[in-house]
Amino acid sequence: MAMNKTFLVIASEMSQPKIRPPVNLLEKKIQLKEKIVDGPRKWWDIVKDKSMPEIGNNITLDAYVYYDESYYNISHNRNQGYSYNLFKEAEEYLHNRSIMINITVIELLELKNLSFYYDNGTLDGNRTLENLTMHGKSLHRPNNSVFFLFVWPGGSNMNKSIDVLHDNGSHYLNVSEVSTENTFCTSNTSAAVIRHRHESMNYWSTVKALFDIFGSKHFIAFTKEDWENMNKTFMQCPLHTTAKAAPTDFPVC
């Protein structure tokens, strides 16, 4: 996902995800402001805000990170360090917003049987999310687990993206992520499909998906309702609990 071209859409779990409207005007202004910042300053420095009381203390998110052949064909790199660093950056963004949840990458795998592509190379967001959610459910992991699938549809053709088509006729093109809504630490499986270019260290879509899964309608300018929803979510989570990290090999499924 290019830094200067972000299309953000949310989908809830399984066959009929809910779609939220585009990000609000403040978030759009922040995105525009990010483009003109000079020097090495990170974009989250612009919106760093610890004015809200801390939530999510002593909570761990177990991240199961998958990628399909489209992502691997671009990266040609199975270095797990990149994924760890990407999620560490996302965690730092959360902490700088007083959301103190910690993220642990438990597993990194290439999975070839989850993604569903149209003939033109565009990813079917609904069907892929459903496949990912069902896969995660079959593993019977704790409810603080989130399953991520990183894709780069179209390969070198940057116009290929994720499409979301619904039974009611609504159709969203060129989205950067699709994820389950308000599922963290519930009986439902938490999952997100992320369009991401390897080594870009661009974690906008990853962060957006996390907040969707936590139950927030926004990912930069939070409302009181967002904060209350996330706090309620975290209160359901087990404390100081994480799965045992997987071995550092990289099997292909």
pLDDT (tens digit, 9 = 90+) per residue, 204-252? 889 999 999 999 998 788 889 999 999 999 999 988 666 655 443 333 3
Residue 136 in any domain: the answer is yes
| Full residue range of the structural domain in which residue 147 is found | 56-235
User: Are 196 and 152 in contact, with CB atoms under 8 Å apart?
Assistant: yes
Tell whether 112 is covered by a domain.
yes
More confident residue, 26 or 149: 149
Name the average pLDDT for the chain. 74
Closest CA relative to residue 231, chosen from 63, 97, 65: 97
Number of domains in the chain: 1
Q: Which amino acid is at 111?
A: L
Tokens (6 digits) for 233: 């979510």
Q: Is residue 49 part of a domain?
A: no
Q: Of 147, 245, 136, 150, nearest to 203 (Cα)?
A: 150
- CATH code (residue 216): 3.40.390.10
Residue 80 lies in a domain: yes
Name the residue among 61, 40, 51, 93 with its Cα closest to residue 205: 93
Please tell me the pTM assigned to this model.
0.73
Residue 130 lies in a domain: yes
Side chain identity at residue 160, one-letter code: K
